[in-house]
């Protein structure tokens, strides 16, 4: 039993011996380390042995030596930071032994070796142990480890046991996730382990209780894994607020952040230390060197490069060939539907019966785990996956990464490529497979960026107010808080360092009574101040609801997909469908809503037929169709990064650089130059031409599909006002095409349409306001904020469920709130999200200012080569307008036509 080995029990016996001289193993042979540590012997040991001895107790040195390893520089550097009582950010590539580095200070401290004197309190590290009548002091929680993935926390815990057991360290390690049984959770509160591995959500839950100070007061260290991934989302906001709480409860706590390479390490390092207000402070940054640069190439296809699309079907045999030639290949694609399609296509030509698996976030968890296990056991030759595998447990022998489609961003691509390498000294190998001509440009500049190690991770977020609302409610579930104190505390969190007091007060008011100008809900307040002015939850139900709804990940509403036998000729109404059926996974409600019964789509690697929707279950049957009605490309979550976009624009502008491009693309651009114009780096090229009875306007902002869609919405509004009678638009990552009845070339020629006025940044004023009123994307954004802020619940107690009070539409709430209290804190939050989220307003705004006065117009008599790809998207993409009267009328007319012809 480990539990009786308190940290004290181990002390004394294992003093660090300063005179120990460390011998570098003369090893150049390559030992296969446990994959998660990825510590290799090949890295030359450069810290002087005496210093190593100083930092690393003998027991540890012996252990390293017994494995034939030596500690890496950055591992020792983190030990040194710990000794100096500093927080630190470690930037290291995959395979650098990052996790061990993060835990070494903890292990050394807990080994009782005294190598790290640290703060005096450590020696009496105490916590309270209830013995019934009184309390007794024992060890207490020493280190908290936070991972974005539950599975990663569990894996790290398992891997940590190895060195702890081999060195005989008296350390108790436990995990706490959503799966941890209640009995163990309770025990963990009373008898905390030395090291607890958990997730940001679980940390929030632990903090939202009266005994949080008891549990955390002894905390010495917190290790934040995959920090680069955590900080880009609202989960990072939540985590930062948890950190701020911990700094208050345990001021002696120091943080270690573990991160992949980012654009601005200093910025990221701010996250790890309390911000004092006014100036900005950062934790120390430790950068691990030594990774061999990756070898990345673009697939030089023998086939004809498609003009549009994202499936890269043309390259299928070549991708298959690559899988065949390598031991294990990860094939990354950008969306679930692409993964489904590619997986199916690969199996269609899989004459050798290679073990190729599928992995994406919508698949059943059990199925995903099975794939991961098979992968770890080396049983798979290839895995087709989405960003579901961007992070997480390392897998050993992946020797090739294939990235299909647009790389989107250089940092993102580098992280994916890093998955191919678990030994630092070996170069990762990757092949980029562009799916169309524009993606060739994107791949070309991404390869350049990787060669320069140029990062394009986004800047640190500004903390969202809906997350703050959730945190305030959580605080009220614990010890009652004083607003002044909580405000000061929240501002120590880097994302909230500039939080205005008025915003904070609005949030508290929102949590209490909804924050409405019409004060009618005082008696329904969820949190209330007591006589001392300290706020606390008004009743236990509020606390219960908080516990059920903690977290910031708002999944799209998902429906369970079940496989049943087909009901040929079924009418679609719910009825005698065979219930039950094997669960295939989950699918977005929005996707199913776009289908009619008997439509086919690819799911779980097979073509299925939509049979019925009953409550939250989608019934499908196996279809014999070879081709399915595949979901339109949803664009993925990530638009092309501004950085890569800029490089693409520069590449286009520099004819001499075209030589790096495949001939087909070279020719394509040359034709464009001949027939129209290749856009210069800083200008916006606008082409107008007639085609098939309509008139087209195509522009090339290269700002990503989301920003282009918003631009399309706003441009069509303006063109409508300018009597150009637009009919629709379509956007891709690079371009936007608008078409209509009015002859745009004629209008421009005769001064009836001024392009500079059309693209004036002032469209982000009234036009935007008018559109936001009805935008489905804005409503979706609002819904997420309403859920995260706790206005509405996504999970209910059984009692509530039985009362069927669950149903109401956030769209309706949005409409009403917008009309009656447009400056409500939730609408402000949704607006802030829209700036960077689904509407990408900030980027659109930057682009409009960039091109202001720099519009080049080309009047053409036909479509230009550069415009072909975006025009090919017409029909595949949804088009113009949220204005539903026109669409409804058109749909009605179409049905009439159908019925009368």
Closest separation in Å from C-beta 510 to another protein:
8
Residue 671's alpha-carbon distances to 305, 660, 795, 864, in angstroms, are 15, 17, 57, 9
593, 754, 762, 766: which one contacts another protein (CB under 8 A)? Answer: 593
Q: Please, which residue, 177 or 821, has the CB nearer to another protein? A: 821
From CA 148, how far away is CA 776, in angstroms rounded?
30
Q: Please name which of 758, 759, 753, 705 lies closest in space to residue 729, comparing C-alpha atoms.
A: 705
Instruction: Report CA 443 to chain centroid distance, whole Å.
Output: 21
Whole-number minimum distance, CB 898 to another protein, in Å? Answer: 9
Report if residue 120 touches another protein, rule: CB under 8 A.
no
Using rule CB under 8 A, residue 295 touches another protein: no
Min dist CB 330 to another protein, Å, is 34
Q: Tokens 């009403």 map to which residue?
A: 816
x/- mask, another protein, residues 476-495, rule CB under 8 A, reads: --------------------
Whether 608 and 599 have beta carbons less than 8 Å apart is answered as: no
CA dist 616 and 602 (Å) reads 19
Angle between helices 825-836 and 841-851 (to 10 degrees): 60
Closest to 290 measured CA to CA, from 88, 67, 75:
75
CB nearer to another protein: pick between 304 and 519: 519
| Residue 211 in the binding site for another protein (CB under 8 A) | no
Tell me which H or E stretch contains 136. strand 135-138
Q: Please, where are the H alpha helices in 424-582? A: 437-451, 465-477, 483-490, 501-513, 540-549
Distances (CA, A) of 706 to 162, 733, 836, 840: 47, 8, 10, 6
Contact in structure between 648 and 442 (CB atoms under 8 Å): yes
Nearest-CA neighbor of 645 among 722, 704, 721, 576?
704
Question: Which H/E stretch holds residue 198?
Answer: strand 195-198
From candidates 541, 579, 795, 801, binder to another protein by CB under 8 A: 541
Closer to another protein by Cβ: residue 757 or 888: 888
Q: How far apart are CA 567 and CA 290, in angstroms?
A: 60
Give residues 787-816 in contact with another protein (rule: CB under 8 A): 791-793, 800, 805, 807-809, 812-813, 815-816
Would you count residue 616 as binding another protein (CB under 8 A)? no
Region 379-438 residues binding another protein, contact defined as CB under 8 A: none
CA 644 to chain centre: 19
Quote the tokens at residue 480: 């009652």
884 binds another protein (CB under 8 A): yes
Which residue in the set 30, 377, 770, 892 belongs to the binding site for another protein (CB under 8 A)? 892
> What is the size of the binding site for another protein (CB under 8 A)?
50
Please give the backbone phi and psi of residue 720, each rounded to the nearest 5 degrees, phi first: -65, -45
List the x/- string, 553-592, binding to another protein by CB under 8 A: ------------------xxxxx-----------------
* Residue closer to another protein, measured from CB, 349 or 889: 889
**Shortest Cβ distance from residue 611 to another protein (Å)?**
13
Query: Rounded CA gap, 607 and 183, in Å?
Result: 44
Interface stretch with another protein, choices 124-132, 539-547, 558-566, 848-856 (CB under 8 A): 539-547
Q: If we measure between CA atoms, which residue out of 289, 287, 291 comes closest to residue 259?
A: 287
- By CB under 8 A, is residue 474 in contact with another protein? no
Determine, following the binding rule CB under 8 A, whether residue 594 of this chain makes contact with another protein: yes
Q: Is 817 in the site for another protein (CB under 8 A)?
A: yes
In angstroms, what is the minimal distance from the CB of 696 to another protein? 18
Among 221, 408, 437, 526, binds another protein (CB under 8 A): 526
Is 524 among the residues that bind another protein (CB under 8 A)? yes
Q: CA 705 to CA 535: how far, in whole Å?
A: 45
Looking at 403, 513, 586, 676, which residue binds another protein (CB under 8 A)?
513
DSSP labels, 337-392: HHHHHHHHHHHHT-TT---EEEE-TTB-HHHHHHHHHHHHTT--SEEEE-GGGTSS
Query: What are the two backbone dihedrals, phi and then psi, of residue 529, each rounded to the nearest 5 degrees?
Result: -80, 145
Q: Which CB, 681 or 892, lies closer to another protein?
A: 892
| Residue among 453 and 574 whose Cβ is closer to another protein | 574
- Among the listed residues 44, 377, 671, 895, the single contact to another protein using CB under 8 A: 895
The residue within the footprint of another protein, chosen from 78, 356, 542, 736 (CB under 8 A), is 542
891 binds another protein (CB under 8 A): yes
Q: How far is the CB of 54 from another protein (least distance, A)?
A: 58
SS3 290: coil
Task: Give min distance, CB of 387 to another protein, in A.
Answer: 25
Phi-psi region for residue 378, left (φ > 0), alpha (ψ -120 to 50) or beta? left
Q: Shortest Cβ distance from residue 814 to another protein (Å)?
A: 9
Q: How far is the CB of 518 from another protein (least distance, A)?
A: 5
Q: Is 355 in the site for another protein (CB under 8 A)?
A: no
Stretch that binds another protein, among 263-271, 306-314, 862-870, 881-889 (CB under 8 A): 881-889
Query: With respect to another protein, which residue has the nearer C-beta, 541 or 674?
Result: 541
- Considering only 295, 376, 583, 597, the residue that binds another protein (CB under 8 A) is 597
Strands (E), 819-884: 855-859
CB of 511 to another protein, least distance (A): 9
Q: In this structure, what token pair is assigned to residue 205?
A: 């839950």
Residues 840-879 that bind another protein (CB under 8 A): 877-879
Separate counts of helices (H) and strands (E) for the chain: 35, 27
Query: What gap in Å lies between CA 208 and CA 201, rounded to an integer?
Result: 11
**Residue 811: CB minimum distance to another protein, A:** 9
Per CB under 8 A, does 521 bind another protein? Answer: yes
| Nearest approach, Cβ of residue 702 and another protein (Å) | 24
Q: Are 223 and 106 in contact (CB under 8 A)?
A: yes
The answer to whether the CB of 701 falls within 8 A of the CB of 759 is no
Dist CA 366 CA 370 (whole Å): 6
Selected from 183, 819, 897, 900, the binder of another protein by CB under 8 A is 819
Distance of CA 720 to the CA centre of its chain: 37
User: Is position 725 an interface residue for another protein (rule: CB under 8 A)?
Assistant: no
Of the chain, the end-to-end C-alpha distance in Å amounts to 81
Nearest distance, CB of residue 118 and another protein, angstroms: 45
Residue 516 binds another protein, judged by CB under 8 A: yes
In the numeric block, the tokens 């975006």 are attached to 870
- Pair 558, 578: CB distance under 8 Å: no
Q: Which of 232, 821, 836, 856 binds another protein (CB under 8 A)?
A: 821
Q: How is residue 353 written in tokens?
A: 């019966």
**Smallest distance from another protein to CB 813, Å:** 6
285 near another protein (CB under 8 A): no
Least distance from C-beta 819 to another protein, angstroms? Answer: 7
C-beta atoms surrounding 309 within 10 Å: 18
- Residue 797, class by beta-carbon neighbours within 10 Å (0-12 exposed, 13-18 middle, 19+ buried)? middle
CA-CA distance, 831 to 595, in Å (whole number)?
Answer: 31
- Closer residue to another protein, CB minimum distance, 437 or 780: 780
Q: How far is the CB of 507 from another protein (least distance, A)?
A: 13
| Least distance from another protein to the Cβ atom of residue 868, Å | 20
Output the CA torsion 377→378→379→383 (10° steps).
110
Mark the segment that binds another protein (CB under 8 A) among 102-110, 137-145, 511-519, 855-863: 511-519
Least gap, CB of 574 to another protein (angstroms):
6
Q: Which residues bind another protein (CB under 8 A)?
A: 513-514, 516, 518, 520-521, 524, 526, 541-542, 545, 571-575, 593-594, 596-597, 791-793, 800, 805, 807-809, 812-813, 815-817, 819-821, 824, 877-879, 883-885, 887-892, 895
């Amino acid at each position: 039993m480990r539990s009786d080995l308190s940290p004290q029990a181990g002390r004394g016996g294992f003093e660090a011996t300063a005179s120990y001289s460390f011998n570098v193993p003369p090893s150049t042979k390559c030992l296969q380390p446990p994959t998660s540590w990825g510590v290799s012997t090949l890295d030359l040991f450069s810290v002087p042995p005496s210093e190593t001895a100083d930092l690393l107790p003998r027991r540890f040195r012996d252990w390293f030596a017994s494995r034939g390893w030596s500690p890496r520089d950055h591992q020792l550097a983190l030990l040194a930071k710990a000794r100096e009582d500093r927080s630190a950010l470690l930037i290291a590539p995959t395979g650098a032994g990052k996790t061990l580095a993060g835990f070494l200070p903890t292990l050394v401290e807990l080994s009782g070796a005294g190598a790290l004197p640290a703060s005096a309190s450590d020696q009496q590290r105490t916590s309270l142990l209830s013995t019934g009548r009184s309390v007794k002091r024992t060890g207490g929680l020493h280190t908290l480890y936070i991972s974005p993935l539950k599975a990663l926390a569990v894996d790290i815990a398992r891997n940590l046991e190895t060195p702890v057991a081999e060195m005989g360290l008296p350390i108790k390690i436990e995990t706490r996730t959503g799966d941890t049984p209640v009995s163990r959770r309770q025990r963990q509160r009373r008898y905390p382990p030395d090291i607890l591995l958990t997730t940001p959500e679980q940390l929030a839950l632990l903090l939202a209780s009266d005994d949080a100070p008891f549990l955390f007061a002894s905390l010495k260290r917190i290790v934040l894994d995959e920090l680069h991934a955590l900080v880009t989302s609202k989960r990072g906001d939540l985590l930062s607020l948890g950190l701020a709480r911990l700094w208050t409860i345990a001021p002696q706590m120091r943080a270690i952040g573990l991160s992949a390479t980012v654009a601005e390490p200093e910025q990221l390092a701010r996250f790890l230390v309390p911000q004092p207000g006014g100036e900005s402070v950062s934790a120390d940054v430790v950068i691990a060197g030594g990774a061999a640069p990756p070898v990345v190439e673009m697939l030089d296809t023998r086939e004809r490069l498609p003009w549009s699309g994202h499936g890269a079907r043309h390259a299928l045999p070549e991708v298959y060939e690559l899988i065949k030639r390598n031991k294990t290949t990860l094939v990354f694609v950008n969306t679930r539907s692409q993964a489904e399609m590619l997986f199916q296509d690969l199996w269609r030509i899989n004459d050798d019966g290679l073990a190729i698996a599928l992995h994406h976030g919508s698949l059943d968890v059990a199925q995903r785990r099975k794939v991961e296990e098979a992968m770890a056991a080396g049983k798979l030759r290839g895995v087709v996956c989405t960003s579901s595998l961007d992070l997480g447990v390392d897998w050993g022998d992946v020797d090739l990464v294939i990235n299909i489609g647009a790389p989107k961003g250089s940092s993102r691509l580098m992280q994916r490529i890093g998955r191919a390498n678990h030994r630092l000294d070996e170069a990762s190998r990757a092949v980029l497979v562009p799916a169309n001509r524009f993606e060739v440009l994107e791949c070309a500049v991404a390869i350049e960026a990787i060669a320069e190690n140029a990062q394009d991770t986004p800047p640190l977020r500004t903390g969202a107010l809906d997350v703050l609302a959730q945190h305030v409610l959580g605080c009220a579930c614990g010890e009652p808080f004083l607003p002044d104190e909580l405000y000061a505390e929240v501002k120590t969190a880097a994302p909230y360092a500039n939080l205005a007091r008025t915003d904070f007060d609005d949030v508290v008011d929102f949590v209490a009574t909804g924050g409405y100008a019409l004060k009618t809900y005082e008696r329904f307040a969820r949190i209330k101040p007591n006589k001392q002015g300290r706020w606390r939850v008004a009743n236990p139900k509020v606390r219960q609801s908080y516990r059920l709804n903690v977290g910031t990940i708002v999944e799209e509403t998902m429906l369970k997909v079940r496989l049943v036998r087909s009901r040929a000729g079924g009418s679609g109404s719910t009825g005698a469908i065979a219930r039950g059926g094997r669960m295939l996974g989950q699918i977005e409600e929005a996707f199913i809503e776009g289908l009619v019964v008997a439509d086919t789509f690819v799911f779980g690697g097979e073509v299925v037929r939509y049979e019925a929707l009953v409550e939250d279950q989608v019934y499908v049957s196996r279809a014999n169709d070879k081709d399915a009605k595949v979901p339109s490309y949803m664009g993925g979550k990530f638009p092309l990064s501004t950085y890569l976009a800029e490089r693409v624009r520069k590449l286009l502008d520099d004819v001499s650089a075209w030589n790096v491009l495949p001939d087909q693309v070279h020719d394509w651009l040359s034709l464009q130059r001949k027939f129209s114009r290749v856009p210069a780096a800083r200008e916006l090229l606008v082409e107008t031409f007639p085609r098939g009875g309509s008139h087209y306007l195509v522009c090339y902002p290269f700002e990503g599909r989301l920003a282009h869609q918003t631009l399309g919405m706003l441009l069509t509004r303006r063109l409508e006002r300018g009597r150009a009678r637009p009919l629709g638009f379509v956007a891709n990552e690079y371009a936007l095409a608008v078409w209509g009845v009015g002859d745009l070339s004629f209008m421009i020629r005769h001064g009836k349409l001024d392009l500079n006025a059309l693209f004036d940044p002032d469209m982000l004023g009234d036009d935007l306001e008018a559109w936001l009123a009805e935008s489905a994307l804005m409503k979706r954004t609002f819904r997420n904020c309403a859920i995260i802020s706790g206005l509405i619940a996504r999970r209910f107690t059984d009692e509530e469920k039985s009362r069927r009070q669950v149903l109401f539409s956030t769209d309706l709430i949005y409409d009403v709130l917008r009309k009656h209290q447009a400056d409500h804190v939730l609408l402000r939050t949704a607006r802030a999200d829209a700036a960077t989220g689904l509407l990408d307003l900030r980027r659109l705004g930057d682009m409009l200012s960039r091109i202001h006065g720099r519009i080049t117009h080309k009047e053409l008599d036909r479509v230009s080569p550069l415009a072909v790809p975006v025009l090919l998207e017409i029909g595949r993409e949804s088009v113009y307008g949220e204005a539903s009267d026109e669409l409804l009328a058109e749909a009605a007319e179409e049905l009439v036509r159908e019925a009368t012809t």
